[in-house]
Amino acid sequence: MERRLDVTFAALADPTRRAILGRLAKGEATVMELAKPFNMTQPAISQHLKVLEDAGLVVCRVDGTRRPRRLAKDGVEAMDKWLAMLREALEKNYNRLDNVLLTMEQHKKGKTK
């Protein structure tokens, strides 16, 4: 389970992949359809899609010769989780910084006494 979380986190750490998820949130798309607006080659898009598929965030559908990708349910939740993680990490940092600043101020006051 933990490995899966790491894989998800690594998949989401890349802005291009988050952007692909953002695009797929609007509806399914083929590699060709994704490559155009992203101004990237199809192999480059395919590589990003493979990472997203391995992480369980994107699924592939077979439609004749087309292979449209769409967001897996986990993909929607993962976008949410990634943001919540960013928010939580920042909040933790700044709460710690509050205490550090308090110590700095007390130290300064002690010196000037």
* Strand partners for 29: 69
Least Å distance, CB 29 to other proteins, is 11
Please provide residue 67's backbone torsions phi and psi, each rounded to the nearest 5 degrees.
-130, 65
Of 40 and 60, CB closest to other proteins: 40
Least Å distance, CB 65 to other proteins, is 26
99 backbone φψ class: left, alpha, beta (φ>0; ψ -120 to 50): alpha
Q: Which residues bind other proteins (CB under 8 A)?
A: 10, 13-16, 18-23, 25-26, 37-39, 79-80, 82-102, 104-105
Least Å distance, CB 93 to other proteins, is 6
Task: Read off the tokens for 46.
Answer: 């395919």
